[in-house]
Structure 1
C-alpha cells in the first residue's frame, strides 16, 4: 500500500490521498451500498450483489518474541504451538476459523490470551507483551496494574472496538482483570474533561472516589468522572464504555456530576441499555456521516435517560454528605490559621465539587460561616486563657489578616469586642 500510494502521488501531485482502514465487513458494505467504487479486503460471504476478483494471495506467518523457543525455525507446524499463549485475530476473521481447523485436525490445544482485530496491533502485543501494551495505551488516562500474582505466561486478554462518534466515543469489548487509579496532578496540564459511562454485561467493577464507593455486577450502569481522583478494579469485564466529552453535555453537566459513582436505575436506564446494545450491532455498518448523526442522537438519549430518582438521591445524599462533612471538618481544623482557607481551596484539596461541599455544610450555615465560627471560637479560647498576647497577634494566629475584621466578626458572634471580653474575664477572675 505505501508503494502504491507513493507512485500515485508522484503521477498526480495535485491530488490529496486519504487512506482509511476499515474492517473487511465495512469495506464490503461500502461497496455494496454504492458509497465507494472499489474496495480492497479479504473475501466475505453475504454480498451477492458485489463483483469480486482475487487480487493476491499471501502466506501465513507466525510472529514471535525475539527470545522465543521457536524463533530459529523456518517453518512452524501446528504441533509446535501446543500449549503456547496465542494472540489471535478476531473471531469474525476468515483465517481465524481456518487456523482453528488446522489445530483441531492436529489435536493441538493453545491458550488464546487476546483477540485483536488488526494485525499491526497483534504484532505490537507480541513485541511488547500484552499487558505492557495495554498499560502504555491507558497511561494518559489511568495507571493500570495486573491482578496480584499475574505473570506474563498467563497472558492478558483484551478485545475491544472503539468508534469516535463526535459527541460520544463508543467502546465495546472484553477486558481481563486489572486494577487502576487516577490521581490528578497540576503537572498533568489540560484536564481530561470527560465522563465514562459503563454498561456491564458480565464480570464485576469496583470504583471508589473521595465521596462514593460502588460495586457493579452484570446489568449495572454507572458514570465515572475523569475530573476526579478515583481507584478501582474490574474482573473479567465484558460490556460497553462510552466516553462523554463535557462540551457535548454542557446543559446537563451538573446533573451528570451529581450521579457519578452511583448505580443508575429505573425504566429510562433500562431503555438506554437496550438502545446502546442495539447501537453496538449497527455501529460497524455506518458511514462517517451516519456515525456523527448517531453520536448526536446518542448524546441526547443519554442526557434524557440518566436521571436518578429524587427519592434515591435523597436516600444516598445523607450518607454521602456526612462523610464529606467529616473529611472537610478535619481539613479545616488543621488549617484554621491559613489566610487562604476558602471553600474553593477545600474542594480542590479534597478533590470534590464545590456544590457537593456546599451541600454538606448547608445544615451548619455554609462553609465560609463554619470556618469563621471555628476561628472565632479558637480565638475566644486563647483570648480568655492568655493575657500575654495582644489582640492583633491572636487575630493573626487564627487566620485574620486585619485586627479590625477580627473585632467586627468577634462582636457579631459574642456581642462584645475582644478587649471587652478579656476585661470581663479578668473581672470575673478577680471577683472569684
Structure 2
C-alpha cells in the first residue's frame, strides 16, 4: 500500500507523467519551546514522538528530507536523541502497511522493544534494522542520522517468506550486502534531488532489492539480488568516475583499485558501454561539451588538458567522432541556440 504524503510535500512531475514527491523540514526556524512539538506534528502521520519536558524546554534539533515515487519512499533524517512509538492502536487505525528499513549513517538504532521476539534475539544496537509498519514497536535512539527506505508490503512479501519475522531484526554490519546497502543509501541521499521520478523509483527499488537480499541471508544471490547488487556497484563506479573526471590519472585500473572491486567483474559489467575505459572517455567528452558552453572564453586546449587528454588534437578527434562536429563548432551552435531562446 502506498505511503500517504507527508505534510507540506511538493510534487515534481517530469515529462513522462510520473510524479516524484519531495519535501524538506527542519525545526531550526521554530522557537525553542516549539521545536519538539513541530517535529511531532511533522512525523506524526507515521509514528508517535514521546515528548520529554527537557526536550520541550531545551529545544530539539531535527531535519528530514523525503522523496517518494512509485510506492517507494526514502528519507534522510538527522535528529537529537528521541523516543518513537507505534502502538497497536495506531497500527489498527491507520493505513501504513509498508516496511521501513533504517540505515544509520551516524549513530545507531538504540533500543527497540514492544515486538514479539525470540528469547535469544540480539538486543545489541545495529546500523541497519527492519521495521514492519503493520506491527507495534518502541524505539529509544540516540542522536543520529538515519536513512530510511520504505518498501511496499507486497514487494517484501514477494521476496521474503514469512516477511513479518524480520520486524525489529538487524543486519550484521560487516557483510558485503550490508555495506553495499549502506553505501547505496548514502549515494541516494546525495543524488535523489537531481533525479526525475522514474530514475528515483529505480534507485529506490535497487536499494530495496539489496536490503531484501541481505535479509534473505543468501550466500549466493538470487536473480533479483544479483541485479540489484550489480546496479548498485555500477552506480558506485559511475559516481567515482564523475567525481574524478578532471584527474589526469583516472583510468580503469585506478577506479578498480580505489573502490577495491574485482577487475574482471567490473570490466564485464561495462562491456555494453564499450568497456570501462570507453565509458571514462565518453564521460570526459560529455563533460567537455558542457564546459565548452558553460565557459565560452575558456580555450579548447585548457578544457582538453583539464579533462586528462594528452593533446588538443587527440581531444578534437575524439570529440568529432563522438558528436559529429568539432569542439568549436559545437560551442558556436550552442551559443546560437542560447541567444535564440534568451
TM-score scaled by structure 1?
Answer: 0.40
The structure with the larger Rg is 1
